[in-house]
Amino acid sequence: MTASKYKRVLLKLSGEALMGDDAFGINRQTIARMVEEIVDVARLGVELAIVIGGGNIFRGVAPGAQGMDRATADYMGMMATIMNALALQDALKRSSVDARVQSALNIDQVVEPYIRPKALRYLEEGKVVIFAAGTGNPFFTTDTAAALRGAEIGAEIVLKATKVDGIYTADPKKDPTATRYSRISFDEAINRRLEVMDATAFALCRDQKLPIKVFSITKHGALGRAVMGEDEGTLVHV
């Protein structure tokens, strides 16, 4: 990699992406591979912030959460994202990358609270900033948190890392004739009810003119190619 198209990006990592082939939890080999790609991007001089989900950890307690009050379950999910954020921070530090975790929930003994000016300063200093606990509110997904934090920090693009290499005309696992969109507008993505991101996140990014790139984190080098603006995944634009 020689040059990046974007100076500041927001990477949205799903908790499920950390599982690898495991049923739930964190697969160490998977997170180590992801960290290698994050390190490569950071060394390009890209200011990188990350919003991480918690579905991999919360999935392990999902049977016990059935029938639970939605707000309570959402707060449990937020705490799962903090666990993932700490694991990612530790893996980055082991690779000599300085990382900071900021949480929308106050757990001062464990992580810093989210403070926008401090997050911006960390990014300018070349640190990776990991945003945990979503928006801090129930009923809002970590996709919405990614759109919100991306807008707040002035990111040039939101990189949505999934296990699928973009947005398709149909589910590629069920329909072998499905084709990948190279580009698609926010309005079309919302009207087609594409479920790669929730409608609130799409609408917020559309209103802020903040593009989204959907790509597969399981493809080697895909993150770097997305940062350099290559034809990787699907670009969702105004």
Residues making up the annotated binding site for ATP are 12-15, 55, 59, 162, 168, 171
φ, ψ for residue 152 (rounded to 5)? -65, -35
For residue 158, give the 3-state DSSP assignment: strand
Contacts of 160 (CB under 8 A, 6+ apart): 12, 143, 146, 196, 197, 212, 213, 214, 215
φ, ψ for residue 236 (rounded to 5)? -105, 125
Whose tokens are 């903090």? That residue is: 82
| Helix H or strand E segment including 204 | helix 199-207
* Terminal-residue alpha carbon distance, the chain: 28
Q: Which residue ranges make up the annotated binding site?
A: 12-15, 54-55, 59, 74, 135-142, 162, 168, 171
Q: Which residue ranges make up the annotated binding site for UMP?
A: 54, 74, 135-142
